[in-house]
Chain A
């Protein structure tokens, strides 16, 4: 470990830093050196009340107050990011608009039928050529990536064409990772 000269004032004559000593004492795991060294032991004695105060504070379970989650989500939903909409063309005059985020949610859900593929980011854009879908996905370990991505693309394409009645100009799926169950 490089010795930072700015740390000098924080070092004991044995070279150990007081910050490191304090951390080891509060975690209850002093190094063999710290247990034996007279400078460290002397310093540890001085730090004793602070160590037990920090340890007691650390033992205290802190939970978020009830209602915090609800308040946060209320604020979040009140200022829902203003996204664009996708216009669905039906027969006759008038149109139906669906939020892009809602379309993205439908697209993600459509891939739930494909085993081992999980969609993360998913953005859509309506262009004169049709709907453009840009998504990222994780594919389960051991699955053939190209085939799995192709199946996910088919599911999305079918949603765009069959359920929304739009042309799918492009469906890009970027496989960003292999799905590690430990995630």
Chain B
């Protein structure tokens, strides 16, 4: 076991591709914090984030044989969890428009008022929950996880230009929502 944890990641990925579940376990151990963090930041709720993270990791195991470049495993895994988390958001808000180009939905009940009493971080999450799912996902993946436009475009299934637009609109909304802190 000890020897295996010292193996290069691409070797572990190749072994897991061939059905070696012990190799996969080491990969999960290594990446679970990041996978969970991405899910949590996108969906906001710890319970939903745990479910999304678990589903993403099991999906990764199933799809691993399709991965052509073992080196790209982390980015590939982030895409899976990003997509999964976006779907959770969409399922939770059936009333939200799937296409958000009409602008964002009205913010949740009194995020600003709540936020003044609370902490700035909480205010950010309240403001994020007022965004349509794709906007929120784009913004979180870009500004909190540092993903590139192309990568995000693949996750939310759109073009890099549309991703830029969503991030721009999300930021405008967030700046307004956090206005009381200036």
- When the two chains form their complex, are residues A72 and B54 in contact, meaning their CB atoms are under 8 A apart? yes
Q: How far is the CA of A59 from the CA of B124 in the complex (A)?
A: 14
Q: Which A110-124 residues have C-beta < 8 A from chain B? A: 112, 118-123
Residues of A within 8 A of B62 (CB): 79
- B21 proximal to A (CB < 8 A): yes
Q: Which B120-140 residues have C-beta < 8 A from chain A? A: 120-121, 123-124
Residues of A within 8 A of B178 (CB): 49-50, 53
Q: How does the 8 Å CB contact mask read for B1-41 relative to A, with 1 for contact and 0 for none?
A: 00100011111011101111100110011001101110011
Residues of B within 8 A of A52 (CB): 120, 181
- When the two chains form their complex, are residues B182 and A48 in contact, meaning their CB atoms are under 8 A apart? yes
- When the two chains form their complex, are residues A64 and B53 in contact, meaning their CB atoms are under 8 A apart? yes
Pick from B18, B175, B179, B180: contact of A123, CB under 8 Å: B18
Pick from B11, B13, B50, B54: contact of A138, CB under 8 Å: B11
Q: Which A residue sits closest to B122, measured CB to CB?
A: A53
Q: How far is the CA of A6 from the CA of B166 in the complex (A)?
A: 12
- A22 proximal to B (CB < 8 A): yes
- When the two chains form their complex, are residues B120 and A9 in contact, meaning their CB atoms are under 8 A apart? no
Q: How far is the CB of A46 from chain B (nearest CB, A)?
A: 6
- B154 proximal to A (CB < 8 A): no
Q: How far is the CA of A104 from the CA of B21 in the complex (A)?
A: 12
Q: Which 5 A-B pairs have the closest CB atoms?
A: A183-B8, A120-B14, A49-B181, A49-B178, A53-B124
- Where the two chains meet, the residues of B that have a C-beta atom closer than 8 Å to any C-beta of A are 3, 7-11, 13-15, 17-21, 24-25, 28-29, 32-33, 35-37, 40-41, 46, 50, 53-54, 57-58, 61-62, 65, 70, 119-121, 123-124, 142-144, 146, 161, 164-165, 167-168, 171, 174-175, 178-182
